[in-house]
Chains A and B, each alone.
Chain A
Amino acid sequence: AQRVTQPEKLLSVFKGAPVELKCNYSYSGSPELFWYVQYSRQRLQLLLRHISRESIKGFTADLNKGETSFHLKKPFAQEEDSAMYYCALSGSSNTGKLIFGQGTTLQVKP
């Protein structure tokens, strides 16, 4: 069964500190992994997808198949990064159903 686990409900850091939002997944085949962000009162937006291997707003994420993880990292957090972050998994082509983790609220304090 597909499952995405984000162990932290809340992560609070100070501005300028490094950030790592954890995501682990369970899937028997070759999944496609995503990170979505939801700022206050806004819709979900795609932040990263593992196949593109790009850096958006300073965030990066590497798929580790051995550890079945896709942790989101940023070396220096900014206050505007405060938001809800969701890790998600799709099990087939990118039009297959998307399953979300529980979400982690990132709070960046000044």
Chain B
Amino acid sequence: GAVVSQHPSWVICKSGTSVKIECRSLDFQATTMFWYRQFPKQSLMLMATSNEGSKATYEQGVEKDKFLINHASLTLSTLTVTSAHPEDSSFYICSASQVGHGYTFGSGTRLTVV
């Protein structure tokens, strides 16, 4: 079946630094990729939708300059948390979709900003 690989699975960074999270579709070409944020014991909040080769569409309230999304190919999307602060600490999950494959989720990245 369709597999999405997300790396790293966890990262600790210092306040003020930037962190990049990668999301790869391993055995299919993803038409669209989605980035979610999940707070402890809460649901997944959609942050942005990205299509290969075009700018990401951000949900209301999500700072596009803070959360940079690049979708350079049909198999890779990256989320960069710029100038991270402790309040950015969270669990970030990517999802890739393609017609016929539905939605496939990565295993998530636990970001801790200290």
Q: Name A residues whose Cβ lies closer than 8 Å to a Cβ of B.
A: 34, 36, 42-46, 49, 86, 90, 93-95, 97-103
Q: Name B residues whose Cβ lies closer than 8 Å to a Cβ of A.
A: 31-32, 34, 36, 42-44, 46, 49, 93, 95, 97-99, 102-103, 105-108
Evaluate whether A98 and B95 lie within 8 angstroms (CB atoms) in the complex, with A43-B105, A44-B105, A46-B102 already known: yes
Q: Which residues of A have CB within 8 Å of B44?
A: 44, 86, 100
State A37–B62 Cα separation when bound (angstroms). 26
From B34, B43, B106, B107, name the one whose CB has the most chain A CB atoms within 10 angstroms.
Answer: B43
Contact in complex: A95, B31 (CB < 8 Å): yes
Residue of B nearest to A36 (CB): B105
Contact in complex: B43, A95 (CB < 8 Å): no
Contact in complex: A97, B49 (CB < 8 Å): yes
Partner of A46 from B42, B46, B103 at Cβ < 8 Å: B103
